[in-house]
Structure 1
Amino acid sequence: MKAITTRSYGSPSVLKAEEVPDPVPKGDELLIKVHAASLNQANLVLLKGKPFLARFAYGVFKPKHIITGSDISGVVKAAGKQVKHFKPGDEVYADLSNYGFGSLAEYVAVPEKALALKPTNLSHLQASAVPLASLTALQALRDAVRVQPGQRIMIYGSSGGVGTFAVQVAKAFGATVTAVCSKKHMENMKLLGADYVLDYGKIDLTKYYGSFDAILAINGYQHLATYKKLLTENGVYVMVGGSASQMFEAMLLGPIFTLGSGKKLGNFLKKHNTDDLVELTNLIEADKIRPLIDRVYPFQEFKEAFTYLDQHHAYGKVIITIQN
């Protein structure tokens, strides 16, 4: 089969299209014919090996996952003897970031526990945009922020893959949402349901005090002291992604910055949970959230897809089609 591989850390130029052996599913796995796969910032971490701490999980000197990619949507071609809930012909989707990656290939062997049935109202191309980014948004808002109806929530960095889902999930939970993004995406944020939209190029957040019950910052950007000022008395700030220095700042300095107050500052990492993917499927089929797709690239233009993602200009998700 054909696959996109990375055998050393670097820029998109190190990626290659190779012929590799077809995967053979184990007893609890299914063989999936991949129709489409989406890219996430996590794919850039695996590609570049940055921040360096990530190498302790993904390979210190070179990537241990040769075939990259995490989000898939496709069709079951074969099932192992221990598989109970899926059969050949089922349309499924999954986040493979906890299961060895490998989505950017014609076929992938996936543990049953990683899969969910694809939303019936989405194409494979649309469904591939959902798993990792929407799971991150859902878990960050529901579990870390503990969003409640009527709360005022800021989504800082709202126009990317996680951000566009976060705006919609927060609205589905009944929150009043302020989205912070670049000027060119402000109208799009309103269309997604944001109650208020701020242009991060013009707004001075240091002049806001006690305005938000919760802040979800995708990749950080502001100083912790600024986010602290923005929170109400018992407000919660959660950072998703970002540089190693930003992660350590939130993790180590967050508790110090909030001493003597009811405020909380910290970061968040997604955990795979198929039940959460099913919950998202229900929200999608109820038309409460939808994936936003910026660009779609054919398989042979995979380097262009990664290069575009690396420029940090994407509104929503970047997709690579695997099957014509």
Structure 2
Amino acid sequence: MHASVLRYIDQVARLGSIRRAASVLNVASSAVNRQILKLEAEIGTPLFERAGNGVRPTPAGDFVIRHARETLARWQTVTSEVTALSGDLHGEVRILAIPASIVQIIPRAVSILCKAHPNISFGIVEASPKEVAEEMRARRPDLAIVFIDRRHGGYEVLSQLPLRLGAVMKPDHPLAGRRELTLTECAAYPVVMLSDPWLLNATAETEFTHSGAQFRSTVLTNSLQMTKEIMHAGIGIGFFTPVGFMRELQSGELVHIPLQEPGLRQSEVGLLIHRERQNWPTVRTVAAHLMTEFATVATEIREIAAAAERRKAAAIR
């Protein structure tokens, strides 16, 4: 089958709409529809069910879509390998990431890569936990920086960053001198919450059932930058790993106090690579730089924790 038909089928299946697929592909809707109808006539069976404003694959369509994606992936591998023979890397690398890594890990790697390989482009998507699950299930990203989950099939873990969820606040906050905190203790003060607090929900619900506490959310937002501004202003406590706050923690503008709850004591952010794309030169090169940043961040987190312990010890003396 011709490459353009494969791309049409792939995009229509992803977007569930011939019109939206045509817009992404920058071609006329009639051209996309005509090619699909022609292929359906050749095969002798419909590939998509047309309903209202959208389409969905038939069982036969599922087979063809899988073939299209596998063929496109293999072709991308071939073209990347051929291009890499000259040392000139081309192509887009799609990265899915939790907000904290977009703040801290990715920019430094991309900055180096853009200078060394100016023909590599990046499609970087910041995702909530719900969006992460959807994107990983569809296997869209080449690389992902997300909380490690055994359900992320089709991906290999390249690097792991052990992290501790904690309460982030100004250094003059009444709780800032503590070594650890419980959610109940934090609930006595105003908090700023992300719209999707992921693993806090179940743990907080269990603990608050026994303690009778309840969070008083001064601000609810889906913006990491907004939470930083709120905490800088001393308006509320936030709950995060240290990764998104490295600069503020290093400078002492904010402090990170680990949470005691067993379910929150250890989280792991991983760098994941698509198994079928891990040999693409562009993806492999970007992954190598991100692995270096993972190691750098791990060192910085240890240094921040050690500095915080020294400050607390000095305050006691």
For normalisation by structure 1, the TM-score amounts to 0.22
For normalisation by structure 2, the TM-score amounts to 0.22
Q: Return the structure number with greater strand share.
A: 1
Q: Return the structure number with greater helix share.
A: 2
User: Highest Rg: 1 or 2?
Assistant: 2
